[in-house]
Amino acid sequence: MATMTVPPQTAHAASGGSLLRQPPAVWAVAFAAMVAFMGIGLVGPILPTISESLGSTPTQTSLLFTSYLAVTAVAMFFTSWLSTRIGTRTTMLLGLAVIVVAAVGCALSTSIDGVIAFRALWGLGNALFLSTALASIISASGGRPAHAIILYEAALGLGLAVGPLAGGLLGDINWMAPFWGTASLMAVGFVAIIAVVRGSGRTGETSHVLAPFRALRNPSILVMSIVAFFYNSSFFVTLAYVPYPLGMTAVGIGLVMTGFGFGLAIASVLLAPLLTRRFSATHVLMAVLGLFALTHVAAGFLTDSTAWLVVCVVLLGFEIGAANTLLTEVVMESSTLPRTVASSAYSGVRFFGGAIGAPVGTALAAFGVGMPFLFAAATAVVGILIMAFFRRSIARADHPVHEPAEVMAETITLGE
């Protein structure tokens, strides 16, 4: 993660520009960001195919998420320290290069253990790239934060929507094809960034390597990090397990997960900001987590109906999109710590939740097809109870969130 300070006069000067009229460097980074987000959901539709081709169980294939997320979680604690020393551009390029190597390694693997290992390397690359991508977009756009954030969120949404579809279509050829496709697209992004992104992205300030760990001493950061841990446990049970009860072809699963991704994009970019401008961010988050839990309960009892299960999965996309944005809002509003430090600490703990939740939840399918969904509902309820019990620790965020232009022109914190 990196922090960029945009002078108010620069932001004001840039305020008249069009969202779509951006320098080539902005589009190069946005394209690479979209492909990086594609990699998160890419493996979902091909999990059953990988299980069949490599003779692995659903629990073993869920480790493709676990290894990826565990390494991402650890790396997130250190990306701000690294990027403030070598610059955001170099950190981005290093991350993209690691992803290309990891994707090729996955495609060439002949065992599930090999794919799991290279997915872990992929997690390192994604942490390096995504933690610095937004700062680079802001810098390349001439300090227009509002436009940069919209483009970054759009890249996230498109990546999560297109990734499963690409995974399904290419996975219909063979399970290795999606990995080759991602490696090729990432290589294009790498070359594009080298060609058009200028400047190192160094800010002149350095981050202490232990700052994110020390941030967890802050009660509000600790409480919301634990809430995010349980929420991400639920989130990644959905991604890792849904392909199995759907019982569709890779293309069919990809189409369902594309609907999930578009719901996520719409809710994160449009719905969540609209709600937090009118209501308390903490109250909205608790309500969304409640709906999230109820939808998982419904999915747990509707596994015999493919049509209703598809409806539940798409609804979960909307709920996850809103929850992602709301969690970040509450974390940032509830603490006076520098945003880059708060985000690094919170993101690291959060990704560990997904790393643990995906295999644990998937393994519960041995006790019934709907059990992983009920597990996801339970972990979401735990998050709600923690917020309710420790509400005083996050009281600073108990208000609507307003982001006027002059505030947008201040410190911009990068990525989860």
pLDDT at site 8: 41
Helix ranges, 110-210 (H): 112-140, 145-171, 177-196
Measured CA to CA in angstroms, residue 6 lies from 18, 86, 132, 292, 335 at distances of 18, 20, 16, 36, 21
In percent, the amount of the chain with pLDDT more than 90 equals 22
Q: What stretch of H or E contains 284?
A: helix 281-301
Inform me whether the pLDDT recorded for 144 exceeds 80.
Answer: no
Strands 411-413 and 3-5: antiparallel
291 has pLDDT over 80: yes
Q: Cα 160 vs. chain centroid, distance in angstroms?
A: 9
90-104, 221-235, 249-263: which range is least confident on average? 249-263
Please give the pLDDT value at position 9: 39
Which tops the pLDDT comparison, 264 or 106? 106
Residue 282 has pLDDT above 60, yes or no: yes
> In this structure, are residues 92 and 29 in contact, taking their beta carbons and an 8 Å threshold?
yes
By mean pLDDT, which of 21-35, 334-348, 369-383 is the weakest? 334-348
Measured in degrees and rounded to the nearest 5, phi and psi for residue 5 equal -105, 120
Q: For residue 42, which amino acid is it? A: L
Looking at residue 369, the DSSP 8-state letter turns out to be T
**Residue 414 carries which DSSP code?**
-
Buried b (16+ CB within 10 A) or exposed e, 95-115: bbbbbbbbbbbbbebeebeeb
Distance (Å) of CA 127 to CA 37, 95, 186, 301: 11, 7, 15, 36
pLDDT score of 14 more than 50? no
Q: Residue range 131-151: average pLDDT?
A: 67
Residue type at 54 in one-letter notation:
L
**Within 13 Å, how many C-alpha atoms sit on residue 11's CB side?**
19
Quote the tokens at residue 10.
Answer: 């620069």
- pLDDT on residue 87: 82
Is the pLDDT score of 243 beyond 80?
yes
Low-confidence winner among 176-190, 299-313, 316-330, 394-408 (lowest mean pLDDT): 394-408
- Picking from 103, 107, 78, 82, the residue whose alpha carbon sits closest to that of residue 94 is 82
pLDDT at 13: 39
- Look at residue 398 in the predicted model and tell me its pLDDT: 62
Which residues lie across from 5 on neighbouring strands?
A: 411
Identify the pLDDT of residue 12: 41
The answer to whether the beta carbons of residues 235 and 322 sit under 8 Å apart is no
pLDDT band at 5 (very low <50, low <70, confident <90, very high): very low
Interior angle at CA 35, CA 113 and CA 63, nearest 5: 20
The token pair that represents 270 in the structure block: 């449009």
Percent of the chain residues topping a pLDDT of 70: 83
Is the pLDDT at 264 greater than 50? The verdict is: yes
Q: What 3-state class would DSSP assign to 18?
A: coil
Between 114-123, 216-225, 398-407, the lowest mean confidence (pLDDT) is in 398-407
Instruction: Quote the pLDDT of residue 367.
Output: 92
* Residue 361 predicted with pLDDT over 90: no
Contact present, 272 and 321 (Cβ < 8 Å): yes
In terms of pLDDT, which residue wins out, 167 or 121?
A: 121
Instruction: Give pLDDT, residue 407.
Output: 37
Q: Which carries the bigger pLDDT value, residue 130 or residue 338?
A: 130
DSSP sequence for 24-85 = HHHHHHHHHHHHHHHHHHTTGGGHHHHHHHHT--HHHHHHHHHHHHHHHHHHHTTHHHHHHH
Domains and CATH numbers, the chain: 23-209 (1.20.1250.20), 210-401 (1.20.1250.20)
Instruction: Characterize 46-68 residue by residue with b for buried, 16 or more Cβ atoms within 10 angstroms of its Cβ, and e for exposed.
Output: bbbbbbeebebebbbbbbbbbbb
pLDDT tens readout for residues 297-345: 999 999 999 999 999 999 998 998 888 878 877 877 777 776 667 777 7
- Name the residue with tokens 């109906």: 305
Does the pTM of the predicted model rise above 0.85? no
Mean pLDDT of the chain: 80
- Cβ of 248: how many Cβ atoms within 10 Å? 17
Q: Which residues contact 204 (CB under 8 A, 6 or more apart)?
A: none
Distances (CA, A) of 198 to 25, 101, 171, 185, 194: 8, 24, 37, 21, 8
Instruction: Give tens-digit pLDDT for 205-226.
Output: 666 777 778 878 888 888 888 9
Per-residue pLDDT, averaged over 28-55, amounts to 81
Residue 19, C-beta contacts closer than 8 angstroms, at least 6 positions apart: 147, 150, 151
Q: Which two tokens stand for residue 306?
A: 């493919």
Residue 404 clears pLDDT 50, i.e. is over it: no
Which strand (E) or helix (H) includes residue 411?
A: strand 411-413
Give the tens place of pLDDT for each residue, 76-89. 888 878 877 888 88
* Residue 255 to residues 165, 210, 306, 308, 316, Cα–Cα distance (Å): 6, 43, 13, 15, 15
pLDDT, mean of residues 114-137 = 86
> What single DSSP character describes residue 337?
S
Distance CA 34, CA 7 (A): 28
- Give the C-alpha distances (Å, rounded to integers) separating 81 from 89, 138, 140, 235: 14, 20, 22, 28
Return the higher-pLDDT residue of 229 and 251: 229
Which of 108, 163, 70 has the alpha carbon at shortest distance from 356?
70
